[in-house]
Amino acid sequence: MMTMQNPMTEIATSKKAGDTLLSVRNLKKHFPIKDGVLQSTVGHVKAVDDVSFDIRRGETVGLVGESGCGKTTLSQCVAGLMEPTSGEVLFDTGRGGTLGPEDRIDRMSGKQKAKYRRNVQMVFQDNFASLNPRNLVVDIVGRPLRVHGEASGGLLTERVVELLEQVGLGRQHLYRYPHQFSGGQRQRISIARALALDPDLIVLDEPTSALDVSVQAQILNLLGDLQQQRHLAYLFVTHDLSVVRHMADRTVTMYLGRVVEHGPTETIFRDAQHPYTKALLAAKPDLDDDPDAPIATLEGTIPDPARPPKACRFHTRCPVATPDCGWEVDDIVRLLESDDTLFERLSGVSRKSELEAELAFETEEAACKLWEVLRSDRVPEAMREATEILDVKGSKLNVRFRDSDEIGLRALGSGHEAACVHAGRLS
């Protein structure tokens, strides 16, 4: 009689809850912008820009934000699928002690790297694209076991069956192709594959966003059960705040490549301190809300990540921005770009610094028109107050803004931090 290895043997008992499993420190991922015949680098898209957070064993960290804020890029750097531009990703491979330089995934020895690869798995948003359409389920789920020499032959098949049964499927699904399953079933197959090597951390990139609501609930309950059984840690990337509240122990809010707030999930939902987090929560539909009341929306569009705003990156859309939030010349350029009648008349911008510049126009009339706009209600009051110089000389407009320090995360107690000048004062 064949003896099967139990994949959950001593999994929970060998790991201590609360130990730091993964640490992200000052992580940056910038993508070069190429232009010209020689494809010279003319700038960088700052998809992830100086991000730090930790994940402890057995906990779920929710990573939230609008599309384009850098969530997926960050998750792929954590999973080792993308090399960061700078910064560190440290992972506990069981060496013991606190995490140090030798635990950086880009400096690990071959043995450590293999252990890291085993212990960090990923479940992707598009479960159809992430499963090879030409492979049977037994090959898809069993491949990690074969690659790492865990099982072969009949034992491999039985291990795959056991994994499928843990995610609500069974032996009858072994010899089918991905297209023969529903979206929820394909996601279960993806989860089974991620579980094959008994990982410590699973990165979940929008794992339920493409599923029906009832199927979402099934997948979330499955993930919760598996976490309890296997003492898994999750990095849960999503834009659905209802999912975050249900799943996450701690929540990290990202905006334009940076963390603007993080803390215990219940604290974030009860007492959010960053205006962006508050806007996300206000935009979340609730069954208890008045059905006739309009859904709250966040005004404006996300700025270009190739030239993100100075100081607080959210100040261009913030309803409670102050003169100290980092107003700069680029804020005027963004205003011009949003108004074709003004932008077409701009001849050029001669910058002395981020805060001071001379804007040249085709006519004096165009320069005077922008001068009137910048003194009107078409721009935020905080921007007007931050303007130290604004004068017209012929067809040129001179402008200078008040200097502001970078607004970093501020400790608010109990692991709660927010990057806002109002932090600790918002109700």
Domain ranges of the chain: 20-255, 329-401
Q: Which residue has the tokens 């898809």?
A: 140
Structure token digits, residue 135: 């492979």
Structure token digits, residue 307: 């030239």
Q: What is the pLDDT of residue 98?
A: 83
For residue 139, count other CB atoms closer than 10 A to its CB: 15
Successive 10-residue mean pLDDT values, the chain, 427 residues: 43 60 96 89 93 96 93 95 95 81 90 92 91 96 93 93 95 96 94 96 91 88 94 94 92 96 96 94 69 67 89 93 94 86 85 94 91 92 95 95 93 93 74
Q: Which residue has the tokens 């970093």?
A: 408
**CA–CA dist 74, 29 (Å, integer):** 8
Environment class of residue 162 by beta-carbon count within 10 Å: exposed (0-12), middle (13-18) or buried (19+)? middle
Q: Which residue has the tokens 């037994």?
A: 138
Q: What is the pLDDT of residue 203?
A: 97
CATH of 329-401 given 3.30.1360, 3.40.50, 2.30.29, 3.10.450: 3.30.1360
Q: Mention the CATH class of domain 20-255.
A: alpha beta
Structure token digits, residue 274: 């960053």
**CA–CA dist 184, 178 (Å, integer):** 11
Measured torsion, CA atoms of residues 392, 393, 396, 399, in degrees rounded to the nearest 10:
-50
Helices (H) and strands (E) in the chain, counts: 13, 15
Strand order in the sheet with 20-35: 40-56, 20-35, 86-91
Q: What is the pLDDT of residue 20?
A: 92
Structure token digits, residue 284: 């979340």
